[in-house]
Structure 1
Amino acid sequence: MFRYASLLLLLGSAAWPTTLLAQDRKATAATSDDTANNGDQSSGQDIIVTAFHRETRLQQTPAAITSLSTEALKNANIVNADDLQRLVPGLVVTNAGAGQRRLSLRGVRSAGDAQVGVYYDESSLTAPPGTTTDAGGSQSDLDFFDVSRVEVLRGPQGTLYGAGAMAGAVRIIFNKPDLNHFEGRADVTGTTEAYGEQGYQANAAINVPIVDDKLAARLVVYRRYDDGYIDNPRLKLQNVNGESTWGGRLVIRYRPISELTIDAAAYFQNNNGGPPTWSPSVGKYQSADQAYLWFKDKNRLYNLTANAELGFATLTATTSYQDRDVLMTRDPSYLFQIVGASAYAPAIYYQPQSVKSWTNELRLQSAGSGPLHWTIGGFYEDRRSKVLSEAHVVGSDGRDLNPPDVILQRHVGESLKQKAAFGELSYRMFDRLTLTGGLRYYSYDKLVSGDTTIGFAPLGTFVRPYAEFRSKNDGWLYKFNASLKASEHLLLYAQAASGYRPGGVNQVLGLAEALPYQPDSLWTYEAGFKATYLDGRILLNVAAFRTDWKDMQVTLNSGTFAYLGNAGAARIQGVEAELGFEPVNGWTVSASLTALTAKLTEDQLATGAVASTATGRAGDRIPNIPQGTVTVASQYEFPLIDGLTAIIHGDVNYVGDSYSDFHRSTSYFRLGDYFVSNARIGVKTRSWGAYLFARNLFNAVGTTYSGTVLGGRTQVVTTVPPRTIGINLTSSF
């Protein structure tokens, strides 16, 4: 940790920017959800965020928040969540293939429900739990086209955002329909990838006023194709991790009177692809899978939001319905061989899954600029999911047979109903000191069901009748914050906040009984400051934090399958910094840093686990969490001729080391400790742009995940995609 702190001091003397300056002082951050980034921005002080469901200036908001505008995302060539971690301190994204992202913030990472909430505007996204009750490993892919801004809130956000945000939240805020102006955008990208072939992305958006000042619609469509770069020599297949995505959204805005705005939105995304894993023992970018694997993710989301200005307060009512279907396949061939079922290998686990979630929130927030601000609200969620899990014998070519040869079949269902009431109250004293308190009361009722209709004796799995298991819990979440405006240019703050995730009951293969697991919870204590100097040309935001996490939900291992349990406790301590410097107009130098330690404070021991593979000991580092990350970037924007502007952007991202397991075992591998460089150059006018870019310019092989094949000892890894070079053309009218 001292290594990264020293690096912070050294780089600080050389001028690090934060994403605030990287957004370009000439581009305006949105002043509300209605407004895209147009106009002039005088300084980083003008960036507006809505993290607390009200408009506040970023540098005057006493919380660790990263806000990225459309221009910031475009200039850094950020197209999805995988890229987003380059600009957000403490964010780690593990990509296991189509529809299988896991997001973590500030070292909080384990199996179970998501620990970082993902929101499309007012809609929270969810995932099916799968057969191992690990919904957090299947978070939706994110497409950032036609985004007004992305806000990342670091630390527990339980009082306003609930259980899914125990470590933080990522909010993707889309451009809304303009009621008075017809406009459109198009964006086309072509790429070529080392060890692969060509790919492309095409995006378009159109805004159509229907009735001036009253009614408008905004339609967005996009399609992306990546050819892949991993081959499978056993099956004689190339580019098995190719991925295609297509989708769109339609937002209709209706404003019958000036005090009432109603937005109706429909989102659709379809994502297909293969696993981006390969085995170093087979060869660079070579897969060891004995079966052909593929994934599908079909996501539909509908939302209706109404905002009413009541004078003394703003009333917001929102309802969302998500319908998501996921197909996952895995290769258990090595497992079947080890348990003495070699006659059945090779094989696949074939697992279609679905989740349907209906969420509702009603909140009332005070209006005006007085010393007192308050928010009260209620929340309700009804979520249902189901999983079909089968084992299929596959053909000699590794592909599933038609009809399939089913040797194992089981069903898992889960329903979750959550209710909550919440509130926050802030009071400004002496025009400088603001005290904030927040509460959330929650209760949930979870029902897990399932049966095994075709047993498989080598795994100790036998036919079992349908059964149901219920769990309930309720409790409180808290937030305390104090901030001091020491001067016009310096804000000091301290905060304590709690977070949790629901518990439940396992319904998995081979368990003698349906083992329950309890909610896990944490407290984060944080202190920081935000400083702005030279009319916003120098920015410095620093936060130090400590998280105490108990009853951790973790994946445990019976020897032939995984399940969820509570085991151990952890403490995470760290520091984050975002700094910025704009020496002259048009030139920004930028950087951010995270340094942390994330370790167990208690031994991990749980009923039914195999001690050699399932436990951690006090002092073990939490897996897959780097001790530090650093990003340094520079961008220069200058005029060429009348109306034509040139842009040169480059950044270097360093990821420190981590390990794939708590302790030394057959799945204990070192990850990280690598540099990735990116560059982008181009020219633009007010109506079009042309850019040349390179991702992973020096072709680094940085390991982001490592484990072993299911049931075997062969190492599998995911790595940073190899060098990709592309051309991007944009147009607007």
Structure 2
Amino acid sequence: MHKKSILIAGLLAPTLVLAQEGSIIDEIIVTAQKRETALQDVPFSVAAASEQQIRDSGATNVVDLARNFASLTIADLGPGQSQVAIRGISAGQVIRDQPGVKEQVGIYLDESPISIALFTPDLDFFDLERFEVLRGPQGTLFGAGSLSGTLRYITAQPKLGEFGGSVELSAADGSDTSFGGAVKGAINLPMGEIAALRIVGYYNELQGFMDVKGLNNEVVDEDVDTGSKTGGRIALTIQPNDSITITPRIVYQKLDTDGFPRIDEFNILANPYTTTQPAVTIGDRQQYVQLEEGLEDDFMLADLKMEFDFGRVALTSVSSYTDREVIVTRDATSLTGSVSFDIGFPDIVRLDSALVDTTKLKAFSQEFRLTSSSDGPIEWLIGAFYQDVDRDYSQYLPTPGWDDATGIDNSTLNAVTDSPFFSGLDYQFKQFALFGEATWHFSDMWALTAGVRYYDFDEDRILNFGGAFADPTVDLPGSTSSDGFSPRAILAFNPSDDVQLTAQVSRGFRLGGINDPINLPLCSPEDVLIFGNQQTFGDETVWNYELGAKMQFADRRVTFNVAAFYSDIEDLQATTDAGTCSSRIVFNVPKARSVGVEAELFARPNDNWDFGLAATWVNAELKSSVTSTSGGQTVVVSGLAEGKQLPTAPELQAVASVGYSVDFSSDMEGFANLTLQYVGSSFSQFGDNTDNFGVITSQTGFPGSARLIPYGAPNTSLIRFGAELPAYDLGNLRFGVRKDQWELAAFVNNLWDEQAYLALDRERGRSARVGYLTNMPRTYGLSFHLGF
């Protein structure tokens, strides 16, 4: 670990809101137990950051923000395609053609579930009240998908009798980026004495920084990964009396990108080794594409929250409806061209070929719960949850001229002309659950919390495959179902008002699913045997054992929180590349384990200085192997071997912050915030952590390597690339002045212009292309925030 890493290791806790007056750290209220509770009183590990803290940290999206929280990591596959892991529990990168895989971390907008395994909504942070991270299994109260934890965007709600709002303007440029900026606004409108309306709107011009290299070995297009994010919400609160509150709301966001932040490490169409094709050297923050790539994500949420207070008992109803469409377009010329070369058509390798993935999602959920008042020694909550999801997924590979050039008519293979691959999958998913939790304060210092959730789900799928690259399949049905219980028990000891010690056991679960068939025409006989008979995958479960402590010292000027955990994982749903098949298959690994420690320290020694430190150490690995018999030999499947590190999450992650403020006058102050982040090395998938994975070769003697396709008569028979994503450090600086209700700030993000590798991207098992998803270069700019 180099010097910057040593400096950073162990360091911020944005779990704590800074005091604006005095030296005592302010209390923050969270709803991690579906009732309002002070953060330090929640008997398990929770973190939260306010909108101001997010702004001070320099985070502009959920990937940036994740580095500011202990135990939280996100694999970034580009805007709108992030995947979340908590406490090292991850089954690997979910690829675009795995629509049946469920999430391991639940994502909520207030109380509405919005998570999808691959497409975590990249919501804007404007007008947030706070962002919550609930660590450890939350299956009892939050259900499936909260296997290792839950993330919650908590928005500011309409306020009765108050007129006010805010406006925010920002502009940014960079050392190697396009210009970007944002315009955002929110207004709270009282409507008589019993109602209020809150309207929020925003527009973000996203900066691009990836350049395209041409066959002339020169840059032919710059900043191709620009984009925009536009959205808003309208919420109406109606409170006819103190006992009834009704809040209907509509949320909308549209995310458009023109490309992806992918660095091409190797591409059969453009590399320095070819001799009969133009030799091309692709540099830092560069890629080779023949077609425009991008993502379109239309997200709409309509929800209705109704609260009825009957005195000793309160009834809450939350109804949610989500309508979302995501279209991802990628340049698949290297993929299609590699297959064309292999089947005897070397002259059409460069035919333009786009891979178009479309996801259409309509989801309805309903939750009812009864909650006791906080009076008395026992607090309880019971509820019911129902969810109905319709999801249509399709994938096309339009390659104009392919049919004529090959003599293969794809329209006779359950596809359309010039599309050598097609898939269409219709999912019907239904889930029902009953849950309850109670806390018994059986003395002034001791409390016992116990809860359980019963769940029952069914999933049906109709599959259509077609085209020359697939095994044509028409209306093939598939189904899976499951039910079970998810309990939790917590013992809390409070020897004083400033100290809480806890012991917890809890269970989380991720629902199983249905694997897609492999692409038989592309598969070797060995891969057909290994991957060809995995029709479904079962539920993944975690039993978590945890000890924690939350403490405050020095008249609450210092806060220290720490938790140690041991998680037994059963039937981990591991994503694997199906060898030569250009397919993905999920296997259940019987046993895995994650053990670690997370710690947070925050100090405000006086009115001028704030310090924060947070770190996570985690050892997450497989405790059993998945094997198959091929050619009379027993082989480990795709790196699923006992002792292998779980992908995505690093062993060490840390962050530090230093804040300074000084009064210029009685109502104006200057401020500065420095945030330093360290993220350790990791792998994107299990198979990446195997011998020779980083080798592409035509030689023998490299088991596990990728095959070098001899397009362009390369002058080498061996190419190497880094399979492990190296550790990286980032620094953000923000400084400015604030007076009364306005703030003017300058910022520099990624201070030393670190190029981080966030995820590995591959086509056709690395033989067609290998690349890395990367981060934004150094950016600098100004922001202005006005509250009224």
Asked if these proteins are the same fold (TM beyond 0.5), I'd say yes
The Cα shift of 1:696 comes to 0.3
Native 8 Å contact 1:208 1:216 kept in 2: yes
The match for 2:563 among 513, 529, 543 is: 543
Q: Give the structure 2 partner of residue 285 of structure 1.
A: 285
- State the one-letter code of the partner of 1:119: Y
Pairing partner for 1:431 from 436, 441, 444: 444
Alignment match, 2:598: 576
Residue 716 (1) aligns with residue 738 (2): no
**2:145 is aligned with 1:164:** yes
Match of 1:663 in 2: 690
| Aligned residues of 1:566 and 1:606 also touching (Cα < 8 A) | no
CA–CA separation in structure 2 for the residues paired with 1:515 and 1:243: 38
Closer/same/farther in 2, CA of residues 521 and 606 from structure 1, 3 Å limit: farther
C-alpha change, 1:404 and 1:589, in structure 2 (3 Å) is farther
Amino acid at match of 1:505: I
One-letter amino acid of the structure 1 residue matched with residue 232 of structure 2: G
- 1:189 is aligned to 2:183: no
Q: Distance in 2 between matches of 1:420 and 1:725?
A: 48
SS in 2 for 1:196: coil
Q: Using the alignment, how far apart are the partners of 2:77 and 2:9 within structure 1?
A: 33
Distance 1:480 1:612 in 2: 37
C-alpha separation in 2, matches of 1:20 and 1:159: 23
> Secondary structure of the residue that 1:393 maps to in structure 2?
coil
Counterparts in 2 of 1:670 and 1:408: CA distance versus 1, 3 Å: closer
Residue 555 (1) aligns with residue 609 (2): no
Q: Distance in 2 between matches of 1:593 and 1:608?
A: 44
- 2:230 maps to 246
Q: What are the Cα deviations for residues 468-494 of structure 1, in whole angstroms up to 9, with x where unaligned? A: 111111000010110100222211001
The one-letter amino acid of 1:721's match is M
Residue of 366, 378, 382 corresponding to 1:376: 382
**Does 2:368 correspond to 1:362?**
yes
**Residue 265 of structure 1 aligns with which residue?**
249
Residue in structure 1 matching 2:180, options 171, 185, 199: 199
Shift in Å, 1:569:
2.4
Q: How many residue pairs are counted as aligned between the two chains? A: 694
Contact 1:164 1:501 survives alignment (8 Å): yes
Equivalent runs, 1:313-462 vs 2, <5 Å: 313-339=313-339, 340-341=342-343, 342=346, 343=348, 345-393=351-399, 405-452=418-465, 454-456=466-468, 459=469, 461-462=470-471
Quote the residue 2:618 is aligned against. 596
Tell me, in whole angstroms, the C-alpha distance in 2 between the residues paired with 1:608 and 1:360: 48
2:156 paired residue number: 175
Pick one of 8, 24, 27 that aligns with 2:18.
24
Other structure's SS at 2:245 match = strand
1:305 aligns to what?
Answer: 305
Q: Note closer, same or farther for the CA distance 1:17–1:628 as it changes in structure 2 (3 Å cut).
A: closer
In structure 2, runs of 5+ residues without a counterpart are 95-100, 267-281, 403-415, 521-531, 695-721
Q: Does 1:527 align with 2:528?
A: no
Equivalents in 1 of 2:629, 2:314: separation in Å? 50
C-alpha distance in 2 between matches for 1:682 and 1:84: 21
Output the CA distance in 2 between the equivalents of 1:199 and 1:252.
Answer: 32
Code of the residue aligned with 2:246 in structure 1: it is I
* Conserved 8 A contact 2:462-2:478: yes
Give the partner amino acid of 1:422. Answer: F
Distance 2:565 2:22 in 1: 31
Q: What is the match of residue 30 of structure 1? A: none
CA contact (8 A) 1:99 1:296 kept: no
Cα distance in 2 for residues equivalent to 1:468 and 1:703? 39
Q: In structure 2, what is the equivalent of residue 118 of structure 1?
A: 107
Relative to structure 1, is the Cα distance of residues 514 and 632 closer, same or farther in structure 2, using a 3 angstrom cutoff?
closer
Superposed CA offset, 1:46-101 (max 9, x none): 22111101111111211110011222222223332112112210111122123211
Asked if 1:505 corresponds to 2:514, the answer is yes
Q: Over alpha carbons, which structure has the higher Rg?
A: 2
Structure 1 residues 404 and 203 mapped into 2: Cα distance closer, same or farther (>3 Å)?
Answer: farther
Corresponding position: 1:463 with 2:480: no
Deviates more, 1:509-518 or 1:434-443: 509-518
Describe the SS at the equivalent of 1:727: strand
1:513 positional shift: 6.2
Q: Distance in 1 between matches of 2:230 and 2:689?
A: 38
Q: Per the alignment, do residues 334 and 197 of structure 1 end up closer, same or farther by CA in structure 2, a change over 3 Å counting?
A: closer
CA-CA distance at 1:687 after TM superposition: 2.2
Please tell me whether the aligned partners of residues 22 and 607 of structure 2 are also in contact (alpha carbons under 8 angstroms).
no
The change in CA–CA distance for 1:125 and 1:11 in structure 2 (over 3 A counts) is closer
Letter paired with 1:287: Q
Structure 1 residue 550, shift from structure 2 partner: 1.4
Preserved contact between residue 70 and residue 599 of structure 2 (Cα < 8 Å):
yes
Q: Deviations over 1:266-306 (max 9, x none)?
A: 00000011211112452100113443321111000000001
Q: If the length of structure 2 is used for normalisation, what is the TM-score?
A: 0.84
- 1:710 and 1:346, CA in 2 relative to 1: closer, same or farther beyond 3 A? farther
TM-score normalised by the chain length of structure 1:
0.90
The SS at the match of 1:567 is: strand
The answer on 1:650 being equivalent to 2:650 is no
Cα deviation code 1:489-513 (max 9, x no counterpart): 2110011111111112223453666
Preserved CA contact (<8 Å) 1:98 1:243? no
Residue 472 (str. 1) matches residue 493 (str. 2): no
Which one of 655, 672, 675 corresponds to residue 631 of structure 1?
655
**Distance across 2 between alignment mates of 1:501 and 1:606:** 25
Shift of 1:313: 1.4
Q: Which residue of 2 aligns with 1:132?
A: none
Q: Which residue of 2 aligns with 1:31?
A: none
What does residue range 64-143 of structure 1 map to in structure 2 within 5 Å? Answer: 64-110=45-91, 111=94, 112-127=101-116, 136-143=117-124
Percent identity reads: 29
Kept after mapping to 2: 8 A contact 1:605/1:615: no
Unaligned regions of 5+ residues in structure 1, if any?
A: 27-39, 128-135, 397-402
SS for the counterpart of 2:145 is helix
- Going from structure 1 to structure 2, the CA distance change for 1:469 and 1:404 (only over 3 Å counts) comes to closer
Distance 2:128 2:674 in 1: 22
Partner Cα separation in structure 1 for residue 771 and residue 401 of structure 2:
23
Instruction: Letter of the 1:348 partner, please give it.
Output: A
Report the aligned-residue RMSD: 2.5
**3-state SS, counterpart of residue 225 of structure 2:** coil
Residue in 1 that maps onto 2:782: 727
Residue 216 of structure 1, aligned match among 196, 207, 213 = 196
The DSSP-based 3-state class of the residue aligned with 1:584 is coil
**TM-aligned CA deviation for residue 685 of structure 1:** 1.2
Tell me which of the two structures has the higher relative contact order, counting C-alpha pairs closer than 8 angstroms and 6 or more residues apart: 2
Partner of 2:639: 615
For the residues of structure 2 that align with 1:300 and 1:607, how far apart are their CA atoms? 47
404-413 vs 565-574, which deviates more? Answer: 404-413
The whole-number CA distance in structure 1 between the counterparts of 2:482 and 2:213 is 50
Q: What is the CA-CA distance between 1:637 and the residue it aligns to?
A: 1.6
Is 1:320–1:358's contact at 8 Å kept on the other side of the alignment?
yes
Contact 1:439 1:479 in 2 (8 A): yes
Q: Is the 8 A contact 1:334 1:712 kept in 2?
A: no
